[in-house]
Amino acid sequence: MITVGMNYEVIEGKEQPFEKKFALVLDVMAKTEGHKVTHLYKNVFQGRSYLIVSEWKTRDTFDAFITSEAFKAVTDWGKEHILASRPQHEVYGDEPAAPVTGGCPVDH
């Protein structure tokens, strides 16, 4: 199993649209093979900063999701209308770290 931390900063005033879109993404994730659980956390000191913590069966199942057309459609929409900066993703787990494909960098 792996855990992925996905950090997002949204444009001021776009918090509600981001949270609504996340709910749609969560529905897709729940139906995705290898997805276990995902939670959205909001920074209480900087309300435009979010952390999504997601657990996956394997790194391959996570990679398959983030390279899917469904994920690409959501992230493309977010880049144009919601996100203040590029998302930063970090993968934790018992598998060797490898670069995340699909436009989401892994910081080490």
As to burial, measured by CB atoms within 10 angstroms (0-12 exposed, 13-18 middle, 19+ buried), residue 44 is exposed
Angle between helices 69-81 and 15-30 (to 10 degrees): 180
pTM of the model: 0.77
Query: Could you tell me the maximum CA-CA distance found in the chain, to the nearest angstrom?
Result: 38
User: Mind listing the domains of the chain with CATH numbers?
Assistant: 2-93 (3.30.70.100)
**The token pair that represents 70 in the structure block:** 């469904």
Per-residue pLDDT of the chain (108 residues; tens, 9 = 90+): 999 999 999 999 999 999 998 888 888 888 889 999 999 999 999 999 999 999 999 999 999 988 988 777 767 767 778 888 888 889 988 655 555 555 554 444
